Structure 1
Amino acid sequence: MAGTKPMNSYFVPGYGISRTVIQNEIRYHCGPDAIVRPYTHQGRDGFLVTTSGPPLTKEQIADLRESSRDFEEKQAATSGFVNQPVQVGNRGRRSVS
């Protein structure tokens, strides 16, 4: 197609970045055609970003981490199960004969 920019893919380490947050914000940072998916590169979990726009800057990655921390804190506050035991059932031990 005439005028179509080439797509570039690159790895973003996932440490501290919520999948929900990066998927919701990637188009804001990298353009309307940007997509992101979970990816493992050299044993490290993260995300594969594909876009014809500019790559994420260090500052944008820091913003994603901060947004992710806020998102996770809100999720934890609404779930009510942060660092609390969760009853999963009372199954007695079976003896093996």
Structure 2
Amino acid sequence: MSSPNSYFVPGFGISRAVIQNEIRYHCGPDAIVRPFTHQGRDGFLVTTAGPPLTKAQIEDLKAASREYEEKQSRRADEADVFVNQPIPVNQRIRRSG
């Protein structure tokens, strides 16, 4: 068995839930993925002893991510949930003096 390799996959268009669920299918049962920032770009760090993702597999992940996000937004519409609703948090008030 070969040693694990790590590489960066830009995250634009890829849902975290999708890549985490499908990475083992594409790269083997030992593959893991985590959020990562490389040179200021958000994406994912993939670690696997299996083959790296191909361009076609990345495109498949993007397509699956679009479907996932559309399904999630339809579900939110049905539940009448406002996703970007402000949430109050306890903040300390600064007092000068």
Moved over 4 A (4+): 81-89
What CA deviation, in whole Å up to 9, does each residue of 1:38-72 have, x standing for no partner?
Answer: 00000000000000000000000000000000000
Which of 5, 17, 40 matches 1:8?
5
> RMSD value over aligned CA atoms?
2.2
The residue that corresponds to 1:29 in the other structure is 26
The structure having more radius of gyration, on CA atoms, is 1
In the alignment of these two chains, the number of paired residues is 86
Q: Is the 8 A contact 1:76 1:82 kept in 2?
A: no
What is the match of residue 65 of structure 2?
Answer: 68
Deviation at 1:30, TM superposition (A): 0.2
- When normalised by structure 1's length, the TM-score is 0.80
What stretches of structure 2 of length at least 5 have no aligned partner? 89-97
SS across alignment from 1:74: helix
Matched residue SS, 1:49: strand
CA distance in structure 1 between the partners assigned to 2:6 and 2:87 by the alignment = 42
Amino acid aligned to 2:41: R
Identity %: 67
**CA 1:61 to 1:87, structure 2 compared with 1: closer, same or farther past 3 Å?**
closer
Q: What residue is the counterpart of 2:56 in the other structure?
A: 59
TM-score, scaled to structure 2: 0.80
Give 1:5 shift.
Answer: 1.7
Is residue 31–residue 53 contact of structure 1 (8 Å, CA) maintained in 2?
yes
